[in-house]
Amino acid sequence: MFAIAKITSKGQTTIPGEVREALHVAAGDFIAWEVAADGSARVRKAQALDRDYLRSLESTLTEWSGQADEEAYRDL
């Protein structure tokens, strides 16, 4: 399938109907973008994430949130 959509000045676009149907997405659903090094992009339906779970998980990762870690992993 091939579809084209225009991007607005606010960076928004409408997902063409045939693409929404193929992805089985509707208003309120989430989509995830993956951008490859060659500039191509892949979009897929994403599951809604449990924010409370993610926040609790984030609090366990503070040992890797220092300035030294930021500098060491910045270019990865």
pTM: 0.57
More confident residue, 53 or 28: 28
Residue type at 43 in one-letter notation? V
Q: Please check whether residue 18 is in contact with residue 2, taking contact to mean a CB–CB distance below 8 angstroms.
A: no
Q: Three-state DSSP class for 41?
A: strand
pLDDT in tens, 8-38: 999 999 999 999 999 999 998 889 999 999 9
Which residue in 26, 63, 67 sits closest to 48, CA to CA? 26
Contacts of 20 (CB under 8 A, 6+ apart): 26
Q: How confident is the model at residue 47 (pLDDT cuts 50, 70, 90)?
A: confident
